[in-house]
């Protein structure tokens, strides 16, 4: 009967060796992961053998294990490395996450930009990017911005300011007044602007009757007109044309600014025998109201003189739009 030297302890194998019983004998062998070198068992460096691991091989006494690069994980076979989808596993991005091989990229929603850590998103202050993004004022909001307009204006197209015609929307003038809209507001003017000794003959036209002795030294008629211009208008600029309504034969017409031009903001250029153009020569800032009297003096061959005045009220809006 064979004696099992490995079981009885009568073998002479070293402590780092494994005793294997044979029929009539025994054998000293090295454990798995080791190889015999002389009488000793030395570790086999599996990492120097044909590739066992997809990325990195870590040798250990009698064995080895595989490791993967950042962004990868070991597959079930413990050898192959597969990409980790960080966006599915544990979304590290504040807003949008895009998985790429071995890593990920964060992006932000419109109106935000990546912070220095490339993960979080910070609001983009669009109002700081350009001073022309809004016609009047830009208001920054989380992820967006909005444009606002001053009182008397409304936002059109998201960025532009358009005048509100208060005379059509909220006319607050009395029945004996007319409403005049201007850039940024409105004003009420009397329907009958005539002052003694003038009498109203038609809309905005006042006539001094020749039967009244006082009228001999006054202009025969005064016509009231209203206009509005934007603030800081480019100069020189033609803004209003005055023209004779009735043309008499054998007469000469001359035009002048009779009043309202103390600071020299206007110039009256005669354009024909019966018309003249009011020219703005100095830029005007609003809100402001100018009343300018434009006079047409008519002289005939018999030295008969008469004059008529156009009283022009110019309302300068508060803004350049």
Inter-residue contact 74 to 52 (CB < 8 Å):
no
Mark 255-281 as b/e (b = at least 16 C-beta within 10 Å): bebbebbeeebbebeeeeebebbbbbe
Output the pLDDT for position 38.
84
Residue 89 vs residue 114, higher pLDDT = 114
Indicate whether 301 pLDDT > 80: no
pLDDT tens-digit map of 14-40 = 888 999 999 999 999 999 999 988 888
When the pLDDT of each residue in the chain is averaged and rounded to a whole number, the result is 93
* Res 196 pLDDT > 80: yes
Query: Residue 126 belongs to what H/E stretch?
Result: helix 126-129
Q: Across residues 133-158, what is the average pLDDT?
A: 95
Q: How many CB atoms lie within 10 A of CB 86?
A: 20
Please state, as a whole number, how many other Cβ atoms lie within 10 Å of the Cβ of residue 118: 10
Structure tokens at 297: 């003096």
Asked if omega into 197 is within 30° of 0 (cis), the reply is yes
Rounded distance between C-alpha atoms, residue 223 and residue 245, angstroms:
11
What's the CA dihedral at 202, 208, 209, 211 to 10 degrees? 180
**160 contacts 154 by C-beta, under 8 angstroms:** no
Token readout for 27 is 């054998």
Share of the chain above pLDDT 90, in %: 83
Q: How far is CA 74 from CA 49, 63, 64, 81, in A?
A: 20, 17, 14, 5
Residue 37: per-residue pLDDT: 86
CB 225 within 8 A of CB 314: no
- Is the pLDDT at 173 greater than 90? The verdict is yes
Q: CA dist 112 to 87, 144, 163, Å?
A: 19, 8, 33
| Mean pLDDT value across residues 106-111 | 95
Residue 173's SS3 state is: coil
Phi/psi at 127 (5° precision):
-65, -25
b (16+ CB within 10 A) / e for 18-57: ebebeeeebebebeebbeeeeeebeebebeeeeeebbeeb
Q: Looking at residue 1, what is its pLDDT?
A: 87
DSSP H or E stretch at residue 186? strand 185-190
Q: Is the pLDDT of residue 287 over 90?
A: yes
User: Encoding tokens for residue 94?
Assistant: 């504040």
Pick the closest to residue 229 from 314, 147, 302, 307 (CA basis).
Answer: 314
Contact between 266 and 211 under an 8 Å Cβ cutoff? The reply is no
The confidence band for 69, taking pLDDT boundaries of 50, 70 and 90, is very high
> What confidence tier does 129 reach under pLDDT thresholds 50, 70, 90?
confident
Domains of the chain as residue ranges with CATH: 86-123 (2.10.25.10), 126-163 (2.10.25), 183-316 (2.60.40.60)
Using the predicted structure, report yes or no on whether residue 51 has a pLDDT greater than 80.
Answer: no
What average pLDDT score do residues 69-97 get?
93
Q: What confidence tens digit (pLDDT) does each residue in 198-244 have?
A: 999 998 999 999 899 999 899 999 999 999 999 999 999 999 999 99
Q: What is the pLDDT of residue 303?
A: 78
Distance CA 85, CA 104 (A): 8
What is the structure's pLDDT at 147? 97
Q: Which residues pair with 253 in a beta bridge?
A: 298
**What tokens appear for 198 in the block?**
């003038």
pTM of this structure: 0.69
């Amino acid at each position: 009967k064979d004696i099992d030297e490995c079981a009885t302890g009568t073998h002479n194998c070293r402590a780092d060796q494994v005793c294997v019983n044979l029929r009539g004998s025994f054998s000293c062998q090295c454990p798995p992961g080791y190889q015999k070198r002389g009488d000793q068992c030395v570790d086999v460096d599996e990492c120097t053998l044909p590739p066992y691991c997809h990325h990195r091989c870590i040798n250990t006494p009698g064995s080895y294990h595989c490791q993967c690069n950042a962004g990868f994980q070991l597959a079930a076979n413990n050898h192959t490395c597969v990409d980790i989808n960080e966006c599915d596993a544990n979304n590290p991005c504040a807003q949008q996450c895009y998985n790429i091989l071995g890593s990920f990229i964060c992006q932000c929603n419109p109106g935000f930009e990546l912070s220095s850590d490339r993960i979080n998103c910070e609001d983009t202050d669009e109002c700081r990017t350009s001073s022309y993004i809004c016609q009047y004022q830009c208001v920054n909001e989380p992820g967006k911005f909005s444009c606002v307009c001053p009182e008397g204006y409304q936002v059109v197209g998201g960025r532009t300011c358009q005048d509100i015609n208060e005379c059509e929307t909220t006319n607050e003038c009395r029945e004996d007044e007319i409403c005049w809209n201007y850039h940024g507001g409105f004003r009420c003017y009397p329907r009958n602007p005539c002052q003694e000794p003038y009498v109203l003959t038609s809309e905005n036209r006042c006539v001094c009757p020749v039967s009244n002795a006082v009228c001999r030294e006054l202009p025969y008629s005064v016509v009231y007109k209203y206009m509005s211009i934007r603030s800081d208008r480019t100069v020189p600029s033609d803004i209003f044309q005055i023209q004779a309504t009735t043309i008499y034969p054998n007469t000469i017409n001359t035009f002048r600014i009779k009043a309202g031009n103390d600071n020299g903001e206007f110039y009256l250029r005669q354009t024909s025998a019966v018309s003249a153009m009011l020219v703005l020569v100095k830029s005007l800032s609003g809100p402001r109201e100018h009343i300018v009297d434009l006079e047409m003096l008519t002289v005939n061959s018999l030295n008969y003189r008469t004059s008529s005045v156009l009283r022009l009220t110019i309302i300068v809006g508060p803004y350049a739009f």
